[in-house]
């Protein structure tokens, strides 16, 4: 497809939407408010509207219309204030990024946008780390903000291997910072990305995949057998004199078992299941967790669907997921487009398994629009 100024801007707007939480952390620290991110996202959406001449993508319109119907029907049955409050957050955080994503075309130069912003995001967060602002950022936000850079660097490593030394340095440093100074959730996102992308990409031969799986298996075995994880942690804590909240949690899990450091999720899940039982078939409405357990979201997407929409909602969710998986696998014909979809799915689903809320995770809704858009994009790219 012929390169155009509009497509380049759209590629950078999508990349910005992915890295916004890390790129804007310096302003968030200065202003002491997360609303800075919302303001800049609205501005990015206005730029997208201007660049694309206020066009509205059909798939975006369908998704937004269906979601709006769900919210307004729920506001009639359940608490209007709570439901419409969540809907407002959805519009600010997700409807905006969905609109930006609806104009993404997946051409080669969009890879440059992702790489450049991944490096900028890494540098921004590293500077904040060096200056001692990790506490102000928050260990959870720091880890998840670094995560997109890690995934882009992993993807680059898959493509170029050890030939690009700077990428190896970026990859190792970003993983180290994410694990040591971030939360544990991003590790799950990385594993999910490796499974989704690595097992399905056409850019790697079958022999490379088999070799990588065998190598990874041997590495894990040796790490467990020779207690490498504990040795590395002791080196970081005792020799490097680095002791963070995340390292404390890792150490607790190693010494006492996986479920010893759940940060109260086990009790939260018990409460959510108790709420779900009140109306197990039809659910208790959007925002029911926030209204019953102040300051908390469901912290698990499956439990959230169950408590908000009941068993019937879970069944519908499974059907919708299978349809999306079918269309997602079609994107393999465009390697870069497939990578972006894999990245967004890993960022959103990995996080939604242990935290957050499906109505405020922009990466999930961006991925949905991109997946549904692929057939249209493929026709444009092939022209």
Interval 197-210: pLDDT, tens: 888 887 777 777 77
The share of the chain scoring above pLDDT 90, in percent, equals 68
Cβ neighbours of residue 171 closer than 8 Å, sequence gap 6 or more = 150, 153, 154, 156, 157
Q: Which residue has the higher pLDDT, 167 or 162?
A: 167
Other Cβ atoms less than 10 A from the Cβ of 142: the count is: 28
**Range 75-92 average pLDDT:** 95
Please tell me the predicted confidence (pLDDT) of residue 237. 79
The share of the chain scoring above pLDDT 70, in percent, equals 94
Per DSSP, the residues of 7-57 read: HHHHHHHHHHHHHHHHHTHHHHHHHT-THHHHHHHHHHHHHHHHHTTT---
Please tell me the predicted confidence (pLDDT) of residue 117. 97
Instruction: Encode 21-44: b = buried (16+ Cβ within 10 Å), e = exposed.
Output: bbbbbbebbeeeeeebbbeebeeb
Q: Which residue has the higher pLDDT, 216 or 70?
A: 70
**Range 302-325 average pLDDT:** 97
**Chain Cα centroid distance, residue 74:** 27
Please tell me the predicted confidence (pLDDT) of residue 214. 81
pLDDT digits (tens, 9 = 90+) for 118-127: 999 999 999 9
Task: Pick the range with the lowest mean pLDDT from 191-195, 270-274, 290-294.
Answer: 290-294
Q: Which residue has the higher pLDDT, 161 or 247?
A: 247
The radius of gyration of the chain's CA atoms, rounded to the nearest angstrom, is 21
CA pseudo-torsion sign 273, 279, 281, 284: negative
**Range 152-175 average pLDDT:** 87
Q: Which residue has the higher pLDDT, 85 or 260?
A: 85
Residue 51's pLDDT band, with cuts at 50, 70 and 90, is very high
Residue 257's pLDDT band, with cuts at 50, 70 and 90, is low
- Top-confidence range, 72-86, 190-204, 216-230: 72-86
Other Cβ atoms less than 10 A from the Cβ of 184: the count is: 17
What does the chain come to in residues?
383
- The model scores a pTM over 0.85: yes
> Mean pLDDT of all residues in the chain?
89
**Range 50-74 average pLDDT:** 96
Please tell me the predicted confidence (pLDDT) of residue 168. 92
Phi, psi of 241, rounded to the nearest 5 degrees: 60, 40
pLDDT > 50? residue 1: no
- Top-confidence range, 173-177, 180-184, 194-198: 173-177
pLDDT > 60? residue 260: no
Q: Give how far Cα 65 sits from Cα of 59, 91, 96, 379, Å.
A: 10, 12, 14, 25
Other Cβ atoms less than 10 A from the Cβ of 163: the count is: 9
DSSP at 294: T
């Amino acid at each position: 497809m012929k390169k155009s100024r509009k497509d380049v801007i759209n590629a950078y707007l999508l990349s910005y939407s992915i890295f916004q939480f890390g790129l804007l952390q310096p302003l968030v620290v200065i202003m002491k408010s997360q609303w800075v991110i919302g303001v800049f996202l609205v501005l990015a959406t206005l730029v997208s509207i201007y660049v694309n001449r206020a066009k509205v993508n059909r798939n975006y319109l369908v998704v937004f219309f269906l979601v709006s119907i769900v919210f307004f029907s729920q506001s009639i049955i359940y608490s209007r204030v709570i439901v419409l409050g969540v809907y407002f957050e959805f519009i600010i955080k997700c409807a905006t990024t969905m609109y930006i994503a609806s104009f993404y075309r997946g051409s080669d130069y969009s890879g440059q946008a992702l790489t450049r912003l991944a490096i900028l995001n890494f540098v921004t967060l590293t500077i904040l780390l060096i200056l001692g602002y990790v506490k102000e950022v928050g260990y959870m936000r720091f880890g998840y903000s670094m995560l997109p850079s890690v995934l882009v660097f992993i993807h680059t490593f898959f493509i170029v291997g050890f030939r690009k030394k700077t990428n190896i340095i970026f990859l190792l440093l970003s993983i180290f910072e994410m694990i040591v100074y971030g939360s544990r959730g991003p590790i799950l996102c990385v594993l999910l990305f490796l499974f989704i992308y690595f097992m399905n990409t056409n850019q790697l031969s079958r022999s490379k995949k088999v070799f990588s799986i065998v190598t990874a298996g041997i590495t894990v075995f040796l790490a467990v057998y020779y207690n490498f994880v504990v040795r590395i942690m002791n080196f970081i804590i005792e020799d490097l004199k680095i002791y963070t909240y995340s390292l404390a949690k890792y150490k607790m899990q190693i010494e006492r078992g996986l479920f010893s450091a759940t940060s109260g999720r086990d009790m939260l899940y018990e409460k959510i299941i108790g709420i779900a039982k009140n109306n197990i078939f039809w659910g208790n409405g959007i925002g029911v967790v926030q209204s019953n357990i102040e300051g908390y979201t469901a912290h698990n997407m499956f439990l959230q669907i169950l408590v908000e929409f009941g068993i019937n909602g879970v069944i519908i969710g499974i059907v919708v997921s299978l349809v999306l998986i079918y269309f997602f696998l079609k994107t393999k014909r465009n390697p870069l487009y497939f990578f972006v979809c894999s990245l967004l799915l890993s960022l959103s689903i990995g996080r939604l398994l242990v935290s957050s809320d499906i109505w405020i995770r922009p990466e999930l809704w961006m991925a949905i629009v991109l997946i549904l858009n692929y057939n249209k994009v493929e026709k444009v790219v092939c022209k």
